[in-house]
Amino acid sequence: MFLSRRNKSTVGLDLGSSSIKLVKLDHNKSGYSVSAIGIRELPPEAIVADEIRDREAVIFNVQSLVEQTDPKIRDVVVSISGHGVITDKFTIDRKTGPEAEQAILFETEQRAPFDVDDVSLDYHIIKEDEDVNKMDVLLVAARKEYLRSYLELIEDCGLRPAVVDDDAFAVYNAYEGNYEIDPTRVTALVNIGFDVTNVTYLHEGLFMATRDVSAGTRGIFDAVQKEFRLNPELASKAMKGEMVDSIDQDMFKATITSASDELISGVELAFSYFRSQTKVEQIDWIVLSGGGALVPYLPEFLQSKINIPLELANPLRNIDYDPELFQYLQPEKIAPLLTVPVGLAMRKTK
């Protein structure tokens, strides 16, 4: 008798306010490979920031996406972000298992703004220092009410939430799994979504801090829609750079740059806050991800305003894939958009 050893696989499901992304990764001995991938755009008002406004539309689109990509999918790793989530980092004595959990809970109770009765906690140990017997813990706390309704939504889609993570940590995970991190360079991972931009800092090769900016590409989308009198479908095509022949490109560029002010000042403010709160004097490098990295003219404009070298994230850099799986999408082109779902799918689940 032959026993076939099934590869372990994990599905990352990213419910964004602009689109739902799904990536299934097989965890092989030699690394990861993509076994399913899909993106489905949502009506612009179905999810606004972290508020689900049209539950039916979300459920319908998640179910359709699963149906199209791999109907057998049940367990998914999901992420939450926005006002429902708080992250914090602290250092405690090294411990493992239940002892670690006790110590983390105790530490959390000491810290404002946490009321442990109102939040569900998850944590990541981001650094262990054997010499001084300490470990750095990143705490992810979600308001219980918010988490419960989110989990219910995933279950109503016919899925099982195996792990709940947050967007910023998924971005970090995707970066760490695909790049050799240069410890001499302070890097900012900037993930521009539709309503939220997550900024995560790496210092000495490790996760240092994260902060959400409450702005994304929605302002640009609205401006494009208004300026060129487009319906949402066409405006979203324009945002993907698919209307090059039908709209005036100079005007398009001018619209994008003037509408990206709020987003760019949000990122600048986050950077200066980070510098003022830490001993870090300069940010050396930006790695840009999320759909914002694909919006025409936006990365160049961001770089020219902020004046820090920038590259686009490629969360598929170390991952095997068959381009056929991507159907009409070009993997190298849309890779930055997949940063969160890839980071989620890189997590091990039981």
From ligand ATP, Mg ion, none, interface partner of 217 (C-beta below 5 to 8 A by class): ligand ATP
The encoded tokens of residue 212 equal 């959400």
Residue numbers at the binding site for ligand ATP (CB under 6 A): 16-19, 39, 193-196, 216-217, 221, 236, 239-240, 290-292, 294-295, 334, 337
Cα gap 124→110, rounded to integer Å: 18
From ligand ATP, Mg ion, none, interface partner of 124 (C-beta below 5 to 8 A by class): none
Cα gap 221→235, rounded to integer Å: 7
From Mg ion, ligand ATP, none, interface partner of 274 (C-beta below 5 to 8 A by class): none
58 or 135: whose CB is closer to ligand ATP?
A: 58
From ligand ATP, Mg ion, none, interface partner of 194 (C-beta below 5 to 8 A by class): ligand ATP
40 or 95: whose CB is closer to ligand ATP?
A: 40
**Using N-to-C axis directions, what is the helix angle for 249-259 and 218-227, rounded to 10°?**
140
**CA angle (75, 77, 78) in 5-degree steps:** 125
Ramachandran region, residue 118 (left: φ > 0; alpha: ψ -120 to 50; beta: rest): alpha
Tell me the C-alpha to C-alpha distance, in Å, between residue 223 and each of 162, 230, 317, 333.
38, 10, 34, 24
**Strand, coil or helix: what is 254?**
helix
Q: Least distance from C-beta 55 to ligand ATP, angstroms?
A: 16
What is the per-residue binding string for Mg ion in 184-203, x denoting contact by CB under 5 A? Answer: ---------x----------
From Mg ion, ligand ATP, none, interface partner of 240 (C-beta below 5 to 8 A by class): ligand ATP
Q: Confirm or reject binding of residue 341 to Mg ion (CB under 5 A).
A: no
Q: Least distance from C-beta 170 to Mg ion, angstroms?
A: 9
In contact, 136 and 127? CB cutoff 8 Å: yes
Chain positions contacting Mg ion, by CB under 5 A: 16, 193
